Structure 1
Amino acid sequence: MKYIIIPGLGDSGSEHWQSYWQNLFPSSERVIQKDWNNPKLEDWIFELQNLIQNNSEPMILIAHSLGVALVVHWANLHKNPNVKGAFLVSPSDVESPSHTPESTRGFSPFPKIKLPFPSLIVASADDPYVPIQRAESLADLWDSDFRNVGRLGHINSESKLEYWELGQHLLKKFELEIKS
């Protein structure tokens, strides 16, 4: 299974678990955005769609933060049978000015859709960008499974997770469920 790594606002730096995973999993590829700090939804969807359509093998989308909103918007516009699932970590609440920066407002509102593939939202109880109850309600909205992993902040570089073994375990379990 190929992993498509989808960072959020500002990209995922070298100390982010997504970067560790990209180095760990040879079957992974990262979406590259032209402007990580001034996100434009149409541009970000274009880059994701381009990467997905240029891959012919089964894949799991591994998104973080604003990347989660990107996946949902992409799924609302595009279909690809090779996308077998989405592992969605720390969705930023782009609809809430008190939780996310103004630069993310172009990703709101969230599409109110059932995702066309299995998905798992992994969230932290003390994420400053989305209250845990809101993350759980997004899981309900998108018909995603939900996992509260405790107090890990925004599950980013500041969380100092490196290879984030719990996340890897959740991903492998999710992948096995997709394959069965």
Structure 2
Amino acid sequence: MIEQKVWVLPGYMNSGEGHWQTRWERLHVGYERVRMPDWDHPVRDAWCRTLEAAVVASAGPVAFAAHSLGCLTVAFWAAQYASAGSLAKVTGALLVAVPDPAGPGFPRDAGGFAPVPMVALPFPSVVVASTDDPYGGIPFSQECAAAWGSRWREIGARGHINADSGLGDWDEGQQWLASLARGAAGG
């Protein structure tokens, strides 16, 4: 589908077997999970440096399929950690279920993810939100999308858009990610 590396960026505690990210990795050659240093005690600096190393190691263009804390990692990475060469490799980012670090459900053992950088991302992106996400509400995701220059998509009541959401292989999300790659290529 997409002829490039897709870095899969799960959030807090990783993405399990039924999660759309895990399913996508099984479906597509070239989709690979960025292995964060500590899934249960995320630290922004470590996660962003790990993402930078993954992008640097990529031979060609890359896209991101990020969920939850993975979205915040992309935003911080782009704003504060990425080299110009790394940024030039990125064709787009699918940013799903952006969590609000000021929200009551945000993991208190996640270090350094606030305040969220509210600056434009230097690559095409789509923010996807659910109307009943316990970790990030519609107003917060819309604010992030506007600040980041992202397209915004609302998919109804799907919780945290994870394995419990019943999305299966989530064809719509795959199409949005593919459209970012085509858009970056001028297609």
TM-score by structure 1 length?
A: 0.94
1:62 aligned to 2:65? Answer: yes
CA–CA separation in structure 2 for the residues paired with 1:159 and 1:71: 23
CA–CA separation in structure 2 for the residues paired with 1:158 and 1:168: 18
CA–CA separation in structure 2 for the residues paired with 1:128 and 1:33: 24
2:23 counterpart letter in structure 1: Y
1:164 aligned to 2:175? Answer: no
**1:177 Cα offset (Å):** 2.1
CA–CA separation in structure 2 for the residues paired with 1:140 and 1:177: 19
**1:105 Cα offset (Å):** 5.0
Query: Which one of the candidate residues 9, 25, 29 is aligned to 1:6?
Result: 9
5+ residue gaps, structure 2: none
CA–CA separation in structure 1 for the residues paired with 2:144 and 2:24: 25
Alignment partner, residue 133 of structure 2:
127
1:32 aligned to 2:35? Answer: yes
**1:106 Cα offset (Å):** 2.0
5+ residue gaps, structure 1: none
CA–CA separation in structure 1 for the residues paired with 2:20 and 2:59: 26
1:108 counterpart letter in structure 2: A
Aligned CA-pair RMSD: 1.3
Contact 1:56–1:82 under 8 Å retained in 2: no
CA–CA separation in structure 2 for the residues paired with 1:93 and 1:105: 13
1:106 aligned to 2:112? Answer: yes
Matched residue SS, 1:102: coil
CA–CA separation in structure 2 for the residues paired with 1:86 and 1:169: 12
TM-score by structure 2 length?
A: 0.91
Matched residue SS, 2:126: strand
Task: Point out the more displaced range, 65-74 or 107-116.
Answer: 107-116
Runs of 4+ with >4 A deviation: none
CA–CA separation in structure 2 for the residues paired with 1:172 and 1:137: 24
Contact 2:93–2:180 under 8 Å retained in 1: no
